[in-house]
Amino acid sequence: MTFSDIFKSSFLESVTEFSVTDTLIGMAFALVIGLFIFLVYKKTFSGIMYSTGFAMSLIGLSLVTTLVIMAVTSNVVLSLGMVGALSIVRFRAAIKEPMEIVFLFWSLAVGIVIGAGMVPLAIIGSVIIGLILIIFASRRFNNTPYILIVNCNDEKAEENALNIIDKSVDRYMVKSKTVNSAGVELTAEIRVKDNATGFVNRINAIAGVSGATLVTFNGEYMS
């Protein structure tokens, strides 16, 4: 018997060694838990722009990973080939929020665990992770951060604007100050009290202030 005969025999036998019922059950559980991850991501999302494509990819990632692990665990030859194939794949999608990494690894872990046949572990673990994320997402540990941009015509208007900011917010930090022929553009990170934003109107009403803009801040500042 040659090496080629051994390879062909092993390959053909392993191809038939899988259960359609087990495959359907595993994929069904992967779909259900993937939908659960999708709903948790949608419920706990706190970024600037919600990505439907990323949310849907969490479901697909659970299904694809489950299918791959099922194939790998049933065939040693296929597992070696899969490792070689995946080693040349490069993913260049940008991660916009740190929490997206958690959901990506969660989906991968679910697919691996279900593909390995440990469905109860995937269910119990996903329920625990989902509850923890929802509980912590619903709690507010600090005031909402904002970025305030004020356009002033002179230094006096800038001082008056800073006085109102100091009296109206919990704390603030000047991030940048741009001075040109048109005046002064002041950018500050602020923490407002109880989401009260009426002080922006008072700043805009100051003589010498040409505009005031308040936007939510996701924690990343680019100068």
The percentage of the chain sitting over the pLDDT mark of 90, rounded to a whole number, equals 19
Distance between first and last Cα of the chain: 69
- Which amino acid appears at position 94 of this protein? A
What Å distances lie between residue 105 and 36, 91, 118, CA to CA? 14, 14, 17
Task: Answer yes or no: pTM beyond 0.95.
Answer: no
Helix (H) or strand (E) holding 73: helix 52-74
Least-confidence region, from 65-74, 121-130, 161-170: 65-74
What Å distances lie between residue 208 and 23, 147, 166, 213, 214, CA to CA? 70, 20, 18, 15, 18
More confident residue, 157 or 90: 157
Q: What is the mean pLDDT of the chain?
A: 79
pLDDT tens per residue, range 79-129: 555 655 555 555 566 666 778 888 989 998 999 899 888 999 999 999 999
* Domain extent listing, the chain: 3-138, 145-216
With contact defined as beta carbons under 8 Å apart, do 182 and 154 qualify? no
At residue 3, the pLDDT reads 47
| pLDDT above 80 for 201 | yes
pLDDT tens per residue, range 136-147: 877 655 567 788
At residue 15, the pLDDT reads 52
**H helices of 75-154, where?**
76-86, 98-115, 119-138
pLDDT tens per residue, range 27-62: 999 999 999 999 999 888 876 677 788 889 899 989
Architecture of the domain delimited by 145-216: 2-Layer Sandwich (3.30)
